[in-house]
Structure formats: structure tokens, C-alpha cells
């Protein structure tokens, strides 16, 4: 509890709530739709911030769960009609998928670098698979997959159980922000729990955690699955937002984008990657309007700049600058503590 109710968390929740309440009041409908997309991408970034930043698991294929959820929503809403069950299914399928491949890899003791490569391969395999479904024979009941063209024109979200009450852009924005804030707070709660501390310990030193009796394979599978569930939630919201899905959700660009958001925002924090996602997506929107430079190139350049100059990311660097004076003080205290420990050991 103490960890959840700290000033940083309350600040983030306060700012996010203010945005959720104020945005629809002050901007036009088009911008509300744009900002909904930013909230969805922030949620997607949050999922990797958890898996990579806290679980210490570099998943290069986080977009696989995002894209899978979007496709599951599209296919099932076309078949079912009412959106509640498709939405739940869209979160459930990537979650189960992640639990299975996560368990296979962690119990198989796949090393970190191979884990990153395998997860990237998973998303690229899904890309090839979905891309090659152009013909009319590729359909799941009533839903045609349409290969590169993707699926469009399916139903957006409606109020649970009331298929006539379809949510408008403003209501959808509220839904996105509620899920974003809800997931952020839930992860903060999880991190402050007994289990959350074990998660961080496993990230810090898996061998020591094993020698203390913790099953790191189980812990990592669980962390990975939770991350996939959040990415799935973001993917489902994305499908609802645009009522359009295509194979580019599984491509290399999408897989790299979320990594860049997390690196730029700050690995090891939850709020940083959310801010990184919003800032870079916003930048992408602005850059998209000009013809001078390719957006991808600018993203690549930004990644290099951040890795070299601000390796910890924007958020932790800002935190550090703000508390620089107290850091100096704590370094001095550290020195005193070192002296105290040797005294303590001698005084036993």
C-alpha cells in the first residue's frame, strides 16, 4: 500500500485523470479520436514496460499479442455481433498464447537473447501467415481475412449486453483512459505486493532467487503472461478504435516501435514508456504531415541519440535532475553507511 500511494503514482494518476476528463471538453472530436489512439499506444507501451522493465524479459515480439488481439476482436465481432464476448476473447486468446509459449521457453531455459529472437520470430511468422490469407478460401466462419488488405468495417464497442448502444468517440476515449489508468494502478499494486517484490528480485539476480527457493521459470511465465494480457487489451482497443486491422500490426516496424517507446521513455519505470509512446506517436503524427524526411529514419535517429546520450530514458533522467541535490546528499550518507556496516560487523 505504502508503495502504491506514493507521490509519484498519485501524480501520474492525477495527470491521467485530468487528461481523461478535460480532453473531450476542450478539443474537437477529431482530436479526441487522435488522443484515444495515443492512450491505446500508451497502454501497449505499459505492457512492455512491465515485461522488460520489471520482469527483465526483453520481448521483441510484444506486438504479436497486440496484433493477435486486434484480429481476434475483428474476426469474432463479425461472427458474434455483440461486442462484449469478442472483446473478452480478444484479451483471452493472446494471454493463453503467451502463457503457452512463455512456459515452453522459460521451462526450456531459453537464454535471454534467444528469447528476444524467438519472440520476434513469432510476430514475423504471424505477419507472413496473415499476409498470405488473400483468397476467399481464407475465412473464419463469416469473417474473411483478406491478406494484406486486412479486415475493415466491423462493429466497434457497444455497452455490454446492449448491441444497439454503440460507443461514440468520446465514450471510447473514456474507455481507453479508464483501462490505461486501471492497468497502471493494477501494476503498481502488483509491484508493491509480495509477488511484485519477488518479480523484481528475479530480474535483479535469477540465480540467487533460485537458490532462495523461488521458481523463476514460473515467475517469468506469469510476468510475461500478464504483459501479454495488457498488450492484448491494447490491441483489442485498437481494433475497436479504427474498426480496421491489417498484417502491419505484426510487422518489424510495429515490433521495433514499442521497444523505442520504452527506451526513450525510460526502462524500469511504468510512467516513462507511456509518456514515450505518447510523445513519439504525437511526433509521428506531426512528421506525417511533412515530406522532407522519412518518419522511420527520424525514429531511428532518435533511438540512437537516446541510447547514446540519455541511456536511461527521459523519465528517469528527469527524476534524477529534479532530485540531484538529494542524490549528492545520499552519496555522502552512503559513505557514512559503509563505515557503519564495518563498525556494526565489528561490534556484534
Partner 1 sequence: MTVGAPLLETQALTKRFGGVLAIDRIDFSVEPRELRCVIGPNGAGKSSFFKCLTGLARATSGRVLFMGQDITRADPCHIARLGIATKTQVPNVFDGLSVRENIWIAANRHSISGVQAMKASENTIQRLGLSTAANAVVGQLAHGARQWVELAMIVVANPKLVLLDEPTAGMSGAEIFRVEKLLNELKSTATIIVVEHDVKFIRRIASHVTVLHNGSILIEGPVATVLSDTRVRDVYLGRHSVT
Contacts to partner 1 by CB under 8 A: 193-194, 197-198, 200-201, 204-205, 207-216, 334, 337-338, 340-348
CB of 200 to partner 1, least distance (A): 7
CB of 192 to partner 1, least distance (A): 10
Cα separation, 156 vs 81, in Å, equals 10
For 53, 132, 250, 298, the CA distances from 47, given in Å and listed in that order, are 10, 28, 16, 24
Q: How many CB atoms lie within 10 A of CB 317?
A: 16
Closer by beta carbon to partner 1, 11 or else 195 = 195
Cα separation, 236 vs 157, in Å, equals 10
Closer by beta carbon to partner 1, 197 or else 329 = 197
Cα separation, 102 vs 224, in Å, equals 7
Closer by beta carbon to partner 1, 197 or else 253 = 197
Closer by beta carbon to partner 1, 15 or else 337 = 337
Closer by beta carbon to partner 1, 167 or else 200 = 200
Closer by beta carbon to partner 1, 112 or else 204 = 204
Closer by beta carbon to partner 1, 29 or else 337 = 337
Lookup: cell for 269 = 519505470
List, in order, residues 6 or more apart from 69 with CB less than 8 Å away. 90, 91, 93, 94, 231, 232, 233, 234, 235, 236, 238, 239
Closer by beta carbon to partner 1, 194 or else 289 = 194
CB of 251 to partner 1, least distance (A): 35
Amino acid at each position: 500500500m505504502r508503495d502504491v500511494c506514493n507521490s509519484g503514482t498519485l501524480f501520474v494518476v492525477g495527470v491521467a485523470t485530468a487528461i481523461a476528463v478535460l480532453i473531450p471538453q476542450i478539443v474537437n472530436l477529431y482530436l479526441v479520436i487522435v488522443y484515444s489512439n495515443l492512450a491505446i499506444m500508451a497502454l501497449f507501451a505499459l505492457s512492455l514496460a512491465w515485461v522488460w522493465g520489471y520482469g527483465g524479459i526483453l520481448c521483441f515480439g510484444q506486438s504479436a499479442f497486440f496484433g493477435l488481439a486486434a484480429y481476434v476482436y475483428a474476426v469474432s465481432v463479425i461472427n458474434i455481433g455483440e461486442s462484449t464476448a469478442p472483446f473478452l476473447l480478444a484479451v483471452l486468446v493472446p494471454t493463453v498464447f503467451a502463457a503457452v509459449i512463455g512456459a515452453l521457453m522459460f521451462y526450456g531455459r531459453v537464454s535471454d537473447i534467444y528469447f528476444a529472437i524467438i519472440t520476434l520470430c513469432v510476430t514475423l511468422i504471424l505477419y507472413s501467415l496473415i499476409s498470405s490469407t488473400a483468397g476467399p478460401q481464407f475465412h473464419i466462419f463469416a469473417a474473411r481475412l483478406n491478406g494484406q488488405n486486412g479486415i475493415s468495417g466491423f462493429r466497434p464497442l457497444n455497452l455490454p449486453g446492449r448491441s444497439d448502444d454503440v460507443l461514440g468517440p468520446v465514450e471510447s476515449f473514456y474507455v481507453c483512459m479508464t483501462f490505461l489508468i486501471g492497468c497502471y494502478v493494477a501494476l503498481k499494486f502488483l509491484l508493491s505486493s509480495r509477488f511484485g517484490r519477488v518479480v523484481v528480485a528475479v530480474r535483479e539476480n535469477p540465480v540467487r532467487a533460485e537458490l532462495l527457493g523461488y521458481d523463476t521459470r514460473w515467475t517469468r511465465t506469469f510476468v510475461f503472461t500478464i504483459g501479454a494480457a495488457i498488450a492484448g487489451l491494447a490491441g483489442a482497443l485498437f481494433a475497436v478504435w479504427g474498426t480496421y486491422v491489417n498484417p502491419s500490426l505484426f510487422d518489424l516496424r510495429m515490433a521495433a516501435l514499442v521497444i523505442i517507446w520504452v527506451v526513450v521513455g525510460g526502462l524500469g519505470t511504468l510512467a516513462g514508456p507511456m509518456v514515450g509512446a505518447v510523445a513519439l506517436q504525437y511526433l509521428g503524427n506531426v512528421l506525417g504531415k511533412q515530406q522532407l524526411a522519412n518518419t522511420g529514419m527520424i525514429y531511428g535517429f532518435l533511438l540512437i541519440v537516446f541510447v547514446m546520450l540519455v541511456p536511461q530514458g527521459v523519465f528517469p533522467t528527469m527524476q534524477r535532475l529534479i532530485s540531484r541535490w538529494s542524490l549528492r546528499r545520499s552519496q555522502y550518507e552512503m559513505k557514512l553507511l559503509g563505515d557503519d556496516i564495518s563498525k556494526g560487523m565489528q561490534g556484534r
